């Protein structure tokens, strides 16, 4: 399994790689993960039955690889992959992100002749994030490379129907299947009881970048009828200083808490201490944080973009609003702030929905049954 991000580096795709690798190892598979390294992380480590190989990568920070981080990973991962292929035989490679990670697939295929799988995650699909001029330029330059990576794959898997549809706009002849992200139900769960408090809190777990829409959330707080809502921003990113300045400008700095990067029990506890899960993204494939918030029994206010409507039914387990619309966001938040009963009902519906189909062992079982058996046809179609 190859991904230039793996916990503690990266976001949703890193978490998906971790859980998939761990559950495969639990099922008896021999799993090797080739990923990026960082200071204080061992170069080779065995964890949860998975053999981790970390290579040098000149990343911006823990949550942002940047072009240099991705390019340097490709260079050093290519050298490590060469060494690994000399030492042992593998049956299958699974690349997370067609770009950049999938660019190593040509070497894998030439050296082994063995099949590989590509998981589309969002930023590797053209037109996913049109706010980034650099990303748009790179996709134009690498469009043929991307098409070749997908065409030669044993299987291409998107993590939402919306991402699949977007990818087919650029690669209409490519067969693309869908397997969503999952969530650890034992780690993310509701508290035994949510005690009533005078202050209602909303939690937004996301990198502090423009695409995640946290500035819209702060503008919405200024427009709300109920000015008691507190917003917990969990994450790090390059826009933190601008967001702090915006909170000061709007006069809501005393109600916006920058929690930084949380993980494990600290993150699970943050969800349990919140009353509302907020996801104001401008684009999204299939948010891991959304699954975690739903598994924690929180009602959702989110934008109607990407794969979010595949999880959130307006009025049934949360409220959907247009992206970039602070007024509609404020109105939805007001509805939940004003009714504890509504929050409890929608949150309970979310936990039930997640329990039915999104536990990680169920998701990984689909990968094993549908793609890792290596018996499927590789013919291209749009079905």
- CATH at 258: 3.40.50.2000
For residue 296, give the nearest of 336, 337, 355 by alpha carbon.
Answer: 355
Q: Are residues 260 and 308 in the same domain?
A: yes
Together in a domain, 349 and 365 = no
At 351, list the tokens.
Answer: 């936990």
CB-based burial, 83-115: b 16+ in 10 Å, e otherwise: eeeeeeeeebbbbbbbbbbbbbbeebbeebeeb
Does residue 170 sit in the same domain as residue 248? no
Cα 267 from Cα 253, distance rounded (Å): 22
Both 84 and 41 in one domain: the answer is: yes
Residue 75 lies in a domain: yes
Spatial distance between the Cα atoms of 329 and 342, rounded to a whole number of angstroms: 17
Backbone angles phi and psi of 305, in degrees to 5 = -135, 155
Same domain, 274 and 290: yes
- 74 within a domain of the structure (yes/no): yes
Which residues 6+ apart lie within 8 Å of 167 measured at CB?
120, 125, 126, 156, 158, 174, 176
- Say how far residue 67 (Cα) sits from the centre of its chain: 19
Question: Pairing mode, if any, of strands 44-47 and 50-55?
Answer: antiparallel
Q: How far is it, in rounded angstroms, from Cα 113 to Cα 85?
A: 12
Residues 41 and 152 in one domain: yes
The model's pTM is 0.89
Helices 288-295, 12-26: crossing angle, 10 deg rounding:
70
Cβ 236 vs Cβ 260: under 8 Å:
yes
Is 191 inside any structural domain? Answer: no
Query: Within 10 A of 12 (CB to CB), how many other CB atoms are there?
Result: 23
Number of domains in the chain: 2
190 in any annotated domain: no
Long-range contacts from 170-174, C-beta under 8 angstroms, 24+ separation: 170/125, 170/126, 170/127, 170/143, 170/146, 171/146, 171/147, 172/382, 173/380, 173/381, 173/382, 174/147, 174/150, 174/380, 174/382
Greatest Cα-to-Cα distance within the chain, rounded to the nearest angstrom: 65
| Residues 228, 114 within the same domain | no
Tell me, yes or no, whether 346 and 366 share the same domain.
Answer: no
Q: Which residues neighbour 262 within 8 Å (Cβ) at sequence distance 6 or greater? A: 205, 234, 270
Does residue 380 sit within a domain?
no
Considering the domain architecture, whether residues 344 and 221 belong to the same structural domain is answered as: yes
The answer to whether residues 126 and 220 belong to one domain is: no
Range of the domain at 350: 201-356
Strands 256-260 and 300-303: unpaired
Assess if residue 379 is contained within a domain. Answer: no
Buried b (16+ CB within 10 A) or exposed e, 191-205: eeebeeeeebbbbbb
Based on the fold, state whether residues 337 and 232 are members of the same structural domain: yes
Q: What is the pLDDT along the chain (383 residues), one digit of tens a residue?
A: 999 999 999 888 999 999 999 999 999 999 999 999 988 899 999 999 999 999 999 987 777 788 898 999 999 999 999 999 999 999 999 999 999 999 999 999 999 999 999 999 999 999 998 778 888 999 999 999 999 999 999 999 999 999 999 999 999 999 999 999 999 999 999 998 877 777 899 999 999 999 999 999 999 999 999 999 999 999 998 999 999 999 999 999 999 999 999 989 999 999 999 999 999 999 999 999 999 999 999 999 999 999 999 999 999 999 999 999 999 999 999 999 999 999 999 999 999 999 999 999 999 999 999 999 865 444 443 33
Establish if 332 belongs to a structural domain: yes
Which DSSP letter does residue 21 get?
H
Q: What is the pLDDT of residue 171?
A: 98
70 and 54 share one domain? yes
Tokens, residue 40: 């204080």
192 lies in some domain: no
- 305 CB contacts (<8 Å, ≥6 apart)? 162, 281, 282, 283, 284, 323
């Amino acid at each position: 399994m190859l991904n230039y991000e793996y916990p503690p580096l990266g976001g949703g795709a890193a978490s998906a790689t971790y859980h998939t690798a761990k559950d495969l190892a639990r099922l008896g598979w021999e799993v090797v993960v080739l990923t990026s390294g960082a200071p204080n992380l061992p170069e080779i480590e065995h964890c949860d039955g998975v053999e981790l190989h970390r290579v040098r990568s000149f990343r911006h920070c823990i949550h942002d690889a940047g072009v240099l981080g991705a390019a340097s990973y490709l260079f050093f991962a290519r050298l490590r992959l060469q060494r690994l292929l000399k030492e042992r035989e593998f049956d299958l490679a699974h690349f997370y992100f067609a770009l950049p990670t999938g660019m190593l697939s040509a070497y894998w295929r030439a050296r082994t002749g063995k099949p590989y799988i590509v998981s589309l995650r969002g930023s590797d699909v053209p037109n996913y994030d049109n706010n980034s001029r650099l990303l748009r330029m790179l996709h134009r330059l690498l469009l043929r490379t991307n098409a070749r990576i997908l065409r030669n794959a044993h299987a291409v898997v998107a993590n939402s129907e919306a991402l699949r549809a977007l990818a087919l706009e650029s690669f209409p002849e490519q067969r693309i299947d869908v397997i969503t992200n999952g969530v650890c139900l034992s780690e993310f769960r509701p508290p035994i009881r949510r005690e009533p408090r005078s202050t209602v809190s909303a939690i937004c777990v996301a990198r502090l970048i423009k695409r995640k829409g946290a500035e819209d959330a702060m503008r919405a707080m200024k427009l709300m009828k109920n000015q008691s809502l507190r917003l917990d921003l969990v994450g790090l990113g390059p826009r933190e200083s601008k967001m702090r300045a915006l909170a000061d400008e709007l006069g809501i700095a005393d109600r916006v808490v920058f929690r930084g990067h949380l993980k494990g029990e600290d993150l699970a506890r943050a969800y349990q201490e919140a009353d509302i899960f907020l996801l104001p993204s401008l684009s999204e494939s299939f948010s891991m944080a959304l699954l975690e918030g739903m598994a924690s029994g929180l009602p959702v206010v989110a934008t109607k973009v990407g794969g979010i409507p595949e999880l959130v039914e307006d009025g049934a387990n949360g409220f959907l609003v247009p992206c970039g619309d602070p007024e509609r966001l404020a109105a939805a938040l007001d509805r939940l702030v004003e009714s504890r009963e509504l929050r409890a009902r929608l949150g309970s519906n979310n936990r039930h929905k997640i329990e039915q189909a999104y536990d990680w062992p169920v998701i990984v079982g689909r990968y094993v049954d549908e793609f890792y058996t290596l018996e499927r046809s590789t013919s291209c179609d749009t079905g």
